[in-house]
Amino acid sequence: MVRAARELGRGPVPYHSAKIGNGQMSVSTLSLGWHWYPYGYSRSAVDVNGRRVADVPEWLVRLGHRAIEEVTGSHAEGAAHTIDAALLNFYDTSARMGMHIDGEESSDAPIISLSIGDTCTFRFGNTETRTKPYTDVALASGDLFVFGSQSRRAYHGVPKITPGTAPEGCGLGSGRLNITLRVTGMADDSSSIANSAPSHEHSEGSS
């Protein structure tokens, strides 16, 4: 899976670290289906090279369907989960992601998050503020985290990567690959949307 993720980075739009305000994110991101940029989505990588991003590959769509089926126990719900976007985030051992909400997306369908490589501390917060209350969860290689409905509007982030915890054979010697599969709820005529309020803003020091 890591090899396939690297191959996807050789497509029309490469992995890149987005600029947030006057800084730059420490995470390297690849968008599929829809291109995420601060603070919106577009079919084209408006902040990279202007090219249209590649579609979400079928193997990732199938992975998302299986995840929803496993969580809900319903094959029908899994098959009906119309994934139209994926974000692949590579973290080195010093990278982190500030607390943010995914407010660019109108859908409340569950986000599916798969971790590969080093264990991270995933901070899952509340819907009102970046501060407490929040819960820190250790996500190890192979862990799947699914959150939807009201939880989809909760602040969340990754304050820490724990070096040396990647298992042998995972495809990464160090660092973490996070694959998130999404239903955006957008149509082609809603591309290049930028929110007036930067809901995907990252907290100080995260980039």
Query: Which positions make up the binding site for Fe cation?
Result: 100, 102, 156
C-alpha–C-alpha distance, residues 79 and 89, integer Å: 25
User: Are residues 72 and 147 in contact, defined by beta-carbon separation less than 8 angstroms?
Assistant: no
Strands 120-124 and 35-37: unpaired
Instruction: Scan for tokens 């079919």, then name that residue.
Output: 43
Closest to 63 in 3D by CA, of 185, 176, 180, 186:
180
3-state secondary structure of 6: helix
DSSP string spanning 15-50?
-B--EETTEE-SSEEEEESSEEETTEEESB-TTTTS
Strands 156-161 and 97-100: antiparallel
Residues annotated within the binding site are 100, 102, 156
Long-range contacts of 45-49 (CB under 8 A, 24+ apart): 45/12, 45/13, 46/192, 47/18, 47/19, 48/13, 48/14, 48/16, 49/12, 49/13, 49/14
| Residue partners of 169: CB distance under 8 A and separation at least 6 | none
